[in-house]
Chains A and B, each alone.
Chain A
């Protein structure tokens, strides 16, 4: 009798615990202002490469997902505060960020590049940029790059998101913008970007800005493992390539 009770208890515990893991929804934080990776579509719904990859990951991990759009500025603080469980927002893995959060392996790679008006020849040194205004998004790796490399020449302009950045470039308030090359491409292909072009060389590929990672709260290595495993499966079964093709004409992994 005691044994049967014990068995029943054991079964109940197992049942509940599996139910608990299955029921737990994964909350995903993203920016929603970084086309074509994450942006609000015409219906004001989150869309983009990051969002689609996140949805596919959820499907692979067998749970439900909810998305929360957060300004870039408070993205990490809100994760740490527990507003959501994962950041999938084309975030670069920097040493400073790693102090507060943990990262998965990269889920795409793309180098950063400068954009300027077509025919505008620029020499990318402090001297060459003297008197120009160069923009990047605030708290971005690109902003850090500009601070590290062009501290004395140009005047730096930092915006909350890249949409504002390109707006300023189009209106002529900025001379040069530094952002992710795919993000830049989105602008260059748009109507207002017709008179602009890539300028100079892209940032070196070993710069932290050249790969995007998912981020979780410090120490949640089990979640990191599950995310990486799911990503590996997406890559193997072709889902990743399908999503990739939808946004970019070539593979960006």
Chain B
């Protein structure tokens, strides 16, 4: 058991946590249920007690007070009735009533009742004597006073007893209802506390669940979206739960892997667009840039210039100085041209063997022509010896074109324009610049 909890505490698992959670909630509900049930059964047993024990007591008390009232009635009959037989009947009944077993439970009450009865008996005999005296015409009224005093005493005792019994009954009833009210209150408090406690604990559990499960899950979901949407390496907050930690680590690994893959891709892409020898763009880059540039220029209705540059008599340069010198020469030319175009968007690429292409966005024919002349000057300025050339130095021929692309124009069309210009430059003696505009065709 302890081991279970230790392992649970140090490496909590989602499944186990859920089981523990459910157990705790059921335990809580069960406990409050049992508490309430206990309270309720207490109330029920109270009510049962009241019915089984108190009701008979109430009935007995009611009967007692009825009998006392009866006794008083008989006393009144004995006191007032004219007929001696009637008085005798009342006294006989009173005799049985006064000896009722119910009075005997309380010796004090029994004594008092018997006292009242003996008073009644005395009153009966006094009245009988009185009547006899009256018949014998001995008018003595002292007995009448005795009777009054006796009756007063009897009446007082009976009233006191009757009051005691009813007040006892009332106080007992009050005590019982108070007890039941107290129990009910206690039950209500218990229910309230149990309910409140359950609510609070459920709230805490919910909070824990949110922190431990829902929040990490959200982070994981966001992380996954980032993995596929962006190129960043995703970092997730650590979680306590074992399963979630596994998922978190998985997502992070995936993210790292995706990132590495992306970097490799980028490298490959760059490699595929760079000319290995000269380090400037290759034909593929030139083509893709031209395509993009034409689309852009068509949208913005700007003029784009394209140049094709060819080294004059390069074949014989190679033949004369060897391929190594030739490669070196190509590198120098490439560097020289690319140093001339520093604007962002300008592209210098090796188009073919000894042919270079330049794309100049937002450049007019005049601007392009000026740039082309600078290229020609810069190359001759390199002073590379070239025996086969007319001037004895290395030179280039440049074909220039400039255009505002229209809807159906293709990149190849503009390249061939520039090519045509280059061809004309070659034909007209090399080491020069020629232009060709779309409308010239």
A residues whose Cβ falls under 8 Å from a Cβ of B: 109-111, 113, 181-182, 185, 188-189, 194, 197-198, 201-202, 205, 210, 235, 249-251, 253
**B-chain residues with CB within 8 Å of residue A250 when the two chains form the complex:** 66-67, 70, 93, 96-97, 100
Sample of 4 more A-B contacts, CB < 8 Å, known A111-B99, A194-B85, A205-B104: A111-B101, A181-B96, A198-B95, A235-B59
B101 to A182, Cβ gap below 8 A? Answer: no
CA distance A56 to B101 in the complex (A): 25
CB distance from A76 to the nearest CB of B (A): 25
List, sorted by A's number, 13 A–B pairs whose CB atoms are closer than 8 Å.
Answer: A111-B99, A111-B101, A181-B95, A181-B99, A194-B85, A198-B95, A201-B99, A210-B101, A250-B66, A250-B67, A250-B70, A250-B96, A253-B63
A251 to B104, Cβ gap below 8 A? Answer: no
B101 to A189, Cβ gap below 8 A? Answer: no
- The answer to the question of B24 belonging to the interface, with a C-beta cut-off of 8 Å to chain A, is no
Interface string of B47-74 (1 = CB under 8 A from A): 0000000000001000100110010000
- The answer to the question of B89 belonging to the interface, with a C-beta cut-off of 8 Å to chain A, is yes
CB distance from A200 to the nearest CB of B (A): 11
CA distance A249 to B96 in the complex (A): 11
CA distance A199 to B85 in the complex (A): 18
CB distance from A62 to the nearest CB of B (A): 23
A251 to B63, Cβ gap below 8 A? Answer: yes
Closest B residue to A189 using CB positions: B89
B residues whose Cβ falls under 8 Å from a Cβ of A: 59, 63, 66-67, 70, 85, 89, 92-93, 95-97, 99-102, 104
CB distance from A49 to the nearest CB of B (A): 14
A251 to B67, Cβ gap below 8 A? Answer: yes
B70 to A249, Cβ gap below 8 A? Answer: yes
CA distance A124 to B350 in the complex (A): 154
CA distance A198 to B98 in the complex (A): 13
**A-chain residues with CB within 8 Å of residue B93 when the two chains form the complex:** 185, 249-250
**B-chain residues with CB within 8 Å of residue A202 when the two chains form the complex:** 96, 99
CB distance from B237 to the nearest CB of A (A): 65
**B-chain residues with CB within 8 Å of residue A189 when the two chains form the complex:** 89, 92
Q: A249-B70, A251-B63 are in contact. Are A182 and B89 (CB under 8 A)?
A: no
Closest A residue to B96 using CB positions: A181
CB distance from B247 to the nearest CB of A (A): 56
**B-chain residues with CB within 8 Å of residue A182 when the two chains form the complex:** 96
A188 to B92, Cβ gap below 8 A? Answer: yes
CA distance A182 to B99 in the complex (A): 12
Closest A residue to B95 using CB positions: A198
**A-chain residues with CB within 8 Å of residue B59 when the two chains form the complex:** 235
CA distance A104 to B112 in the complex (A): 33
CA distance A235 to B55 in the complex (A): 11
Which 10 pairs of residues, A with B, have the shortest CB-CB distance? A205-B101, A250-B70, A251-B63, A202-B99, A181-B96, A250-B97, A250-B67, A188-B92, A205-B104, A198-B95
CB distance from A244 to the nearest CB of B (A): 10
Most B C-beta atoms less than 10 A away, residue of A188, A189, A250? A250
**A-chain residues with CB within 8 Å of residue B96 when the two chains form the complex:** 110-111, 113, 181-182, 185, 202, 250
CB distance from A146 to the nearest CB of B (A): 19
B66 to A251, Cβ gap below 8 A? Answer: yes
CB distance from B59 to the nearest CB of A (A): 7
CA distance A185 to B85 in the complex (A): 13
Q: A111-B101, A205-B101 are in contact. Are A198 and B70 (CB under 8 A)?
A: no
Q: Tell which of A109, A198, A210 touches B92, judged by Cβ atoms closer than 8 Å.
A: A198
**A-chain residues with CB within 8 Å of residue B104 when the two chains form the complex:** 205
**A-chain residues with CB within 8 Å of residue B66 when the two chains form the complex:** 250-251
**A-chain residues with CB within 8 Å of residue B85 when the two chains form the complex:** 194
Closest A residue to B74 using CB positions: A249
CB distance from A82 to the nearest CB of B (A): 34
Closest A residue to B59 using CB positions: A235
CB distance from B253 to the nearest CB of A (A): 65
Closest A residue to B93 using CB positions: A249
Closest B residue to A202 using CB positions: B99
CB distance from B318 to the nearest CB of A (A): 109
CA distance A210 to B103 in the complex (A): 14
CA distance A235 to B97 in the complex (A): 20
CB distance from A245 to the nearest CB of B (A): 11
CA distance A181 to B89 in the complex (A): 13
CB distance from B215 to the nearest CB of A (A): 59
**B-chain residues with CB within 8 Å of residue A188 when the two chains form the complex:** 92
CA distance A111 to B63 in the complex (A): 17
Closest A residue to B101 using CB positions: A205
